[in-house]
Amino acid sequence: MNQGRPFVYADARLKCDGVDVAELAEQFGTPLYVYSANQIAERAGLFQTAFAGVSHTVCYAVKANSSLAILKMLAAQGCGFDIVSGGELARVLAAGGRDVASRVVFSGVGKTAAEMDEALDAEILQFNVESEPELELLAARAAAKGKRARIALRVNPDVSAETHPYISTGLSAHKFGIGIKLARAVYTRAAAMPSIETTGVSVHIGSQIRQVEPFAEALAKTLALVAELRSDGHQIRYVDAGGGLGIEYADKDFDAAEQVAHYAAALKSALGSMDVHLLLEPGRFLVGQAGALITRVLYRKQNGDKKFVIVDAGMNDLIRPALYQAHHEIVPVVTREGSLDEEADIVGPVCESGDFFARARTLPVSEDGDLLAVLDAGAYGLSLSSNYNTRLRPAEVLVESTGARLVRRRETYEELFAPEMP
């Protein structure tokens, strides 16, 4: 099993599931994202095993990494999908076919009428509705199509999650969901709409949460609401427990199986004997440690006592350090015997002072042309990337049991300019 990091050294060279990373960089260029298919499948399998005694569906959070190749692999493994846009719905259908729509839940606070129409036509499993105006629009769109939209209200349980404030979503101060104390009245209103079917309740308290207690607390509050709703006559079948289970970016010995087991035990304890179908939405946990961003050293410079290692990847390729002050381990792709360490900032070429991957990081001394790997970059890497500074986004390589294959080629300037009309 490969539940830790799939990037390990052999003969002083970094390998991904046995494939030489330096050779991939030479073949496909840099910056380059490299993913382990084996680990993504294993991580999905951990959830399926841990919840084997519970009626459930693992709905991968597409926003973490929306690579068609990864979506296709997870669909074949029986996963469903948590989407937050019409574009993500299109990706899921392109990767898994129309049949996978029955395992899709649509979250997000700003669904448009066009997106609702696309999801209604696809006959997705459930809309996770986040406001009363959204409910009214969805009811109107479903009525216009002669359909009934299956909904869960996303309730805000006012549970605090110890995570970055930008990715905490479960407090009343956040834009997400409907206050749990108001939900019962909204369900009564929804049930009176002929084009709406109240089938579930949804909750999601944030991302990169490493303690399981907040998940159990949020689920317990949600299940108490389910009991009330059933007493009101609502046929609640699904409870969407959301996602957000975190990984350890700096812990090389992180035990993924143990973490999932603790998470499952906490949710099962909260669930008790209640008969519901549980929807789980892991994202980062499946793909985060399966990926690395490979970058090449362009230059070294020193301003006074401050040393800088300038690489060819930038904040447009991986924005997490700049946006979230996130820590990513950075390692040489090829090590040198007897190499000394130094403290330096690892920075990119983008014209922003916030364009950095690490500050005051102690690493082996590198030379121009050396390759570095930014680890644990499989989640919110390319999916948050941009073309800022008119930079072409990286290519992506998926390492499978049959070897490595290019799953997204590097963009061209012609493709970048194509939508523009000078």
Q: Which two tokens stand for residue 141?
A: 């769109």
Can you read off the two tokens belonging to residue 236? Answer: 């609640």
**Whole-angstrom Cα distance, residue 150 to residue 218?**
22
| 200 in Cβ contact with 151 (< 8 Å) | yes
282 is in an annotated binding site: yes
324 assigned ligand-binding residue:
yes
304 assigned to a ligand binding site? no
Per-residue tokens: 51 = 């919840």
141 is in an annotated binding site: no
Nearest in space to 373 (alpha carbons), one of 19, 2, 1 = 19
Q: Tell me whether residue 16 is one of the annotated catalytic residues.
A: no
The contacts of residue 239 (CB under 8 Å, 6+ apart) are 200, 201, 202, 219, 222, 223, 226, 276, 277, 278, 279
The answer to whether 88 is a known ligand-binding residue is: no
- DSSP secondary structure string for all residues of 231-266: HTT----EEE----B---SS-TT--HHHHHHHHHHH
Q: Is residue 260 within 8 Å of 222, Cβ to Cβ?
A: no
Burial of 114 (C-beta count, 10 Å sphere; 0-12/13-18/19+): exposed
| Total residue count of the chain as it appears in this document | 422
Residue 244 assigned ligand-binding role: yes
C-alpha distances (whole Å) from 385 to each of 18, 66, 92, 314, 381 are 28, 12, 19, 10, 6
User: What residues act catalytically?
Assistant: 351
Annotated binding-site ranges for pyridoxal 5'-phosphate: 244, 281-284, 380
Known binding positions: 244, 281-284, 320, 324, 352, 380
